[in-house]
Amino acid sequence: MSDQQQFDVVVIGGGPAGYHAAIRAAQLGLKTACVDAALGKDGKPALGGTCLRVGCIPSKALLDSSRQFWNMGHIFGEHGIGFDKPSIDVKKMVARKDGIVKQFTGGIAALFKANKVAAFYGYGQLQPGNIVRVKQHDGSEVELHGTNVIIAAGSDSIELPFAKFGEHIVDNVGALDFDKVPKRLGVIGAGVIGLELGSVWNRLGAQVTVLEGLPNFLAAADAEVAKVAAREFKKQGLDIRLGCKVSNTEVKKDGVHVFYTDDKGEQEIVVDKLLVSVGRRAATKGLLADGTGVQLDPRGFVVVDDHCHTGVDGIWAIGDCVRGPMLAHKGFEEGIAVAELIAGLPGHVNYDTIPWVIYTEPEIAWVGKTEEQLKAEGIPYKSGSFPFAAVGRAVAMAEPIGFVKVLAHADTDRILGMHLVGPNVSELVHEGVLSMEFKGSADDLARICHAHPSLSEAVHDAAMAVHKRAIHKAN
């Protein structure tokens, strides 16, 4: 028998989108519940979704550990620092990562408590009439009625039919938990996950081969950025092969055999571990009982309007399970916006200024349109770029790789995009986000004082270069 509890807002999913929605709703005085089914490595409920448990946060922990290790062998020498052969204790590195995950997932539970968000641990299914039926981990069932229900169910890795996940073939979850450095790591898909996790294990000594289906590398990024990144990854030893159609895999005694065709014909590689990172799909299977009225599109995404409303009274959906980029911070903004809309405030997300970051080395980041997009759309633009090799701070750090590019409208000078590859560009991209959000021009950015010496000078000079007045390079 299930009892029914009443709330103003019931959120299904405690990931980035869901926990932002729940906390903001509670801050606004709405009686809020959040339902989440995930368990941590210790078997206990763990809030925070893919991002905190098996995505952004753990991958950044391993990226940072492996970067320190890589720097010992490749950058420390330039600083005159010598030492005996560096070594890596993978179990300790992974345990550090697990500790960070535990700290942050526990942090969300503490925030729920502080904000009086009622947490329910189990799988929630939407029923007709704004009811969420939760099968809790202890086997009991509870029904939550929300005047508003926010679906924030997230996404799952896409599995290829010929490469089933297991001990040797893994997704991001498995690739965060290897207990030793695989000698040979294969990666299917040169997207964000493939490049980030491929980099981690490459830096620690794995021989990494990345098989990408498309003929272009990082097709979504600015072409010049992608070119510099490809050159640097190659120097680091990442073997990225484009235009590869993977047709089959076989797990044998000597490793995973991966069969693919490229422009030269049929090929085969043998690896110890295979990471499949070919994208993610909305985690909506089984989420909706019959008769809710909520629509899924043919790919399983919940259909919503520009304000994340499903068209069914009081039912909203946000984050990875709806259209738009699968980025935690896009989900954050949608969560906050929907909570505010429910509370009668003018919640809003500007989808044109969502930054993208790939945490490789060099880092890759962008906001707004690429040159390729502007050309395709016939928008007249001017471009200014500036290399980190001419930035004192980057050279002092021994990281003089990459550049910043600012794209501005040819007539109005309004900034339309910023594209960066280089050191710490995950932080610098926000100069572009802020400028675009405030509808700034390249001239505005060029006239803003930037600290010297700092990496941000590359942004400053790139903005000046739009009008051919960069100081530290020939225009």
For residue 349, the Cα-to-chain-centroid distance in whole angstroms is 18
Under rule CB under 6 A, residue 217 binds ligand NAI = no
Minimum CB distance to ligand NAI, residue 278 (Å)? 4
398: left (phi over 0), alpha (psi -120 to 50) or beta: left
Would you say 248 or 350 has its CB closer to ligand NAI?
248
Q: How far is the CB of 216 from ligand NAI (least distance, A)?
A: 9
Name which of 283 and 408 has its Cβ closer to ligand NAI.
283
Q: Give 173 or 410: the residue with its C-beta nearer to ligand NAI.
A: 173
Contacts of residue 292, Cβ cutoff 8 Å, sequence gap at least 6: 126, 127, 128, 312, 315
Phi and psi, residue 63, nearest 5° = -60, -40
Q: Binding of ligand NAI at residue 194 (CB under 6 A)?
A: yes
Site for ligand NAI in 358-397 (CB under 6 A): 358-359
Q: Is 190 in the site for ligand NAI (CB under 6 A)?
A: yes
Q: Which is nearer to ligand NAI, 160 or 289 (CB)?
A: 160
How many Å apart are CA 160 and CA 181, to the nearest integer?
A: 24
Q: Does 279 bind ligand NAI (CB under 6 A)?
A: yes
Using CB under 6 A, which of the segments 38-46, 101-109, 319-327, 436-444 binds ligand NAI? Answer: 319-327
The answer to whether 357 contacts ligand NAI (rule: CB under 6 A) is yes
**Structure-block tokens of residue 338:** 């929907």
- Are 337 and 349 a contacting pair, CB within 8 Å? yes
Among candidates 68, 91, 98, 66, which has minimal Cα distance to 238? 66
d(CA 317, CA 151): 4
Number of helices (H), then strands (E), in the chain:
13, 21
Residue 452 falls in the annotated catalytic set: yes
One-letter amino acid at 155 equals: S
Contacts of 84 (CB under 8 A, 6+ apart): none
User: Looking at beta carbons only, is 220 or 410 nearer to ligand NAI?
Assistant: 220
In angstroms, give the least distance from the CB of 316 to ligand NAI. 22
399-435 residues labelled b (16+ CB within 10 A) or e (exposed): bbbbbbbbbbbeeebbbbbbbbbbbbbbebbbbbbeb
Question: Which tokens belong to 209?
Answer: 């081969």
Residue 214 sits in the site that holds ligand NAI (CB under 6 A): yes
- 188, 283, 364, 394: which one binds ligand NAI (CB under 6 A): 188
Rounded Cα gap, residues 353 and 145, in angstroms: 35
Q: Which of 79, 307, 348, 452 is catalytic?
A: 452
Q: Is 333 in the site for ligand NAI (CB under 6 A)?
A: no
Helix residue spans in 297-354 (DSSP H): 328-342
Q: Which of 326, 349, 406, 464 binds ligand NAI (CB under 6 A)?
A: 326
CB of 260 to ligand NAI, least distance (A): 8
Shortest Å distance, C-beta 336 to ligand NAI: 19
Q: Is 215 a residue that touches ligand NAI (CB under 6 A)?
A: no
Q: How far is the CB of 149 from ligand NAI (least distance, A)?
A: 25
Is 77 among the residues that bind ligand NAI (CB under 6 A)? Answer: no
Distance of closest approach, residue 223 Cβ to ligand NAI, in angstroms: 15
Assess 212 for contact with ligand NAI (CB under 6 A): yes
> Of all residues in the chain, what percent are helix, strand and coil, respectively (each to 5)?
35, 30, 40
Beta-bridge mates of residue 250: 257
Among residues 194 and 335, whose Cβ is nearest to ligand NAI? 194
What are the residues whose beta carbons fall under 8 Å from the beta carbon of 71, sequence distance 6 or more?
none
Query: Looking at beta carbons only, is 134 or 163 nearer to ligand NAI?
Result: 163
**What are the residues whose beta carbons fall under 8 Å from the beta carbon of 394, sequence distance 6 or more?**
388, 400, 401, 422, 423, 455, 458
Which region, judged by CB under 6 A, interacts with ligand NAI, from 38-46, 292-300, 323-331, 448-456?
323-331
Catalytically annotated residues: 452
Give the residues lining the site for ligand NAI (CB under 6 A).
188-194, 196, 211-214, 246, 277-280, 325-327, 357-359
